[in-house]
Each structure stands twice: as C-alpha cells, then as structure tokens.
Amino acid sequence: MNIPYLSSAVAMWRPSAVRKNWPGVAVAIVIALSATFISSNYGGPQLLYALFFGLAFHFLSTDKTCQPGIEFSSKVLLRAGVALLGVRITVEQIASVGLTPLVIVIGALLATIGFGCVLARWLKRPVEEGILSGGAVAICGASAALAISAVLPQTKETEKFTLLTVVGVTTLSTLAMIVYPLLVNILGFDMTQAGIFIGGTIHDVAQVVGAGYLISNHTGDIATFVKLTRVAFLVPVVIGLLIVYRTKNGTTEIDAPPLVPFFLIGFVWLMIANSLNLIPVHVAGLISDASRALLVTAIAALGVKTSFQSLASLGWRPVFMLIMETFWIALLVIMAMLAI
C-alpha cells in the first residue's frame, strides 16, 4: 500500500482541511440544491442541470478560497458517491448483463490503447503519448492518465502531454455526457444496451454516472458496473507498463495512488453485501439517497471546473488523438452491440 497516499487521504479530513475546503464545497452544494429544486418542481434531468449551472460559475474554479473545495467535491465526493452506488447493484443484476457485453467492453479497451499507439506513430509522436491518451480514453479518463503517466519515463514532454490529456478527456467526457444519451435513442438501444454503451465508451466515471442516470435508474446501474469493470483494468495495465519500463530502464520512480482505487473496493463490498441481503431495505434506501446527493454535488463541482475554451490552448495533435480515440472506442462498441 502507498503509505504517503493514505496519509494524505487522512489529512483531508482534519479540521484545518475541512475549513479550507468548506467554501468550495458549499458552492457545489448550493448549485446541487438549485438543480434539485428545478428538477423536482419543473421536471428535467437533475444531473444535467447541476452540470450546466456549474458551468456558469467556472470563474470560481480559480478563486483561491473556493478552489480547494471544488477540487475536493469533484474528486473525493465523487468517489464516495460511486462507492455507495454499490448498494444499488446485486450479483443477479450483473449476471443479467451477460458475459458477451463484458467481452465487448474489454476488447474495445485493449483495441483503443493499441489504436493510440498506432496513431502516435502516424503523427510521428512518442509511443508513450499514444499509450497515455489511449489508456485515458479506454479506462477512466483523467485518473488513468495520471496513473499511467506515473509509470512512464518522466520527461517535460510527458508532463505537458499528461496535463493536456487530463483537460482533453475531461472536456470530451462532458460533451459525451450530453450527446450519448441522445445517440442511444437514435440507435434504438434498449435500457440495458444503453447502459453497456455509455459505461463502455465515456471516459470519466462522473460523466458515465451522469449520462446513465439521465436515461433511467436501470441504465445508470448497468453503466456504472460496466464502467467500473473498465476502471478495474487500470490495475493490470499499470502493472504491465511498470514491468515493461522497469525492464527497459532498470528503475521507475512512482508516486501514485494505490493501484486498486479505494472507491472500487467500497463499491464491490457494498455490492456483495447487498447481494447477500446483509443491508436492511431502509438502510439501503438511505445509502442510495446519500449516493445521489454526493453525485449531484460532484457533478456541480465538475461543471465549475470545466472550461470549453481550454481546448483552444491544447494544440492540434493531442486534440486530434483524443477525438480519434473517442470515436474509435464508440464505433467499436456500437458495431459490436449491433452485431449481437
């Protein structure tokens, strides 16, 4: 276990850290409450309202008072909300998805990383950039970019490309959260197929959750499970890259989060407990409500962080690679879904 990372996680909950994070968290909560009020009284998707309302407050993302809490809400509260989603899912639901869709998703994941390497070669860029961008698109967006970057050779070029990839996949995920629910309707996918497509193609966990639950609770549950299957593949991918680059270079310095994300462990534990009927129904309902509240708050904070103008400063190669990889994984999953 990465002890420094665990220590930093504990430090986030100290009184001084809570006071520092509170202004930004309060902003995200107010935006989330506004979105909930509009959705409850006038109809419409709660999560999408939270995202759009958050975009209007983007100027606060650089405010020294609000920035720490906005970051905390978009990361820590998001992971907590996703972990608590495990109470909504059972092994029986997973079995109903079937093995074939999971094979499709895993195949698309590996093919996308390979496509990223080919694309990097074609653009005469280092293959590491293809691995980094392809892994970010294929696995879990910004989190995968940071984890994969930690085991790649550390150069100024890698650091810069990592930053561009994080901004790019976040922006594309936000666009996908809006567009993909419309796309699955055009394609005529049912609720299960929609969940598999959304969970198998959108980059970041937050946007997968947002897009899935915009359609239905069932779609959101399936999308979350499929997405967390992709997240779990961060473990073997990072370990594989670690072995490859240690073999090449002899040593690799790593200062990264644990290979198995804590929120994934929490999700699995709750899912197993729910499958074994260890959680009373009323308690499960309260946990589910808490999860929803955390996710709406996290989506609001994500909206505050997002700037559609940021793509203009990325340069065309990273943008082109990320867009092509995004189209590639979506096309693969669509073709596979239509073929079965």
For residue 215, give both structure tokens.
């359609």
The answer to which of 25-29, 132-136, 298-302 has the lowest mean pLDDT is: 298-302
Report how far apart, in Å, the C-alpha atoms of 158 and of each of 148, 149, 200 are.
Answer: 11, 7, 27
- Three-class SS of 136-195: HHHHHHHHHHHHHHHHCCCCHHHHHHHHHHHHHHHHHHHHHHHHHHHHHHHHCCCHHHHH
Q: Check pLDDT > 80 for residue 187.
A: yes
Name which of 90-94, 188-192, 213-217, 282-286 the model is least confident about.
Answer: 90-94
Provide the b/e sequence for 272-295 (b: ≥16 CB within 10 Å): eebbeeebeeeebeebeeebbbbb
Cβ-based neighbours of 305, under 8 Å, separated by 6 or more: 54, 58, 61, 70, 71, 74, 170
Residues 116 and 318: their CA atoms lie apart, in Å, by 11
In whole angstroms, give the CA distance from residue 40 to residue 45: 9
Q: What six digits make up the tokens of 72?
A: 């905390």
Calpha distance 191→283 (Å, rounded): 27
Cβ neighbours, 10 Å, residue 100: 12
Summarize pLDDT for 219-261 with one digit per residue, the tens: 998 898 888 888 878 778 877 887 787 766 554 444 445 555 6
- Nearest partner of 166 among 56, 306, 294, judged by Cα: 306
Does 134 score more than 60 pLDDT? yes
What's the whole-number mean pLDDT along residues 267-273?
86
Domain ranges of the chain: 3-339
pLDDT score of 334: 92
pLDDT averaged over every residue in the chain: 82
Greater model confidence, 149 or 278: 278
310 burial type by CB count under 10 A (0-12 exposed, 13-18 middle, 19+ buried)? middle
Confidence at 314, pLDDT banded by 50, 70, 90: low
**pTM exceeds 0.75:** no
Sign of CA dihedral 116, 156, 235, 165: negative
Q: Exposure of 20 by Cβ count < 10 A (0-12 exposed, 13-18 middle, 19+ buried)?
A: middle
State mean pLDDT over 308-312. 58
With 70 as the cut, is the pLDDT of residue 3 above it? no
pLDDT greater than 50 at residue 70: yes
Whether residue 72 has pLDDT greater than 60: yes
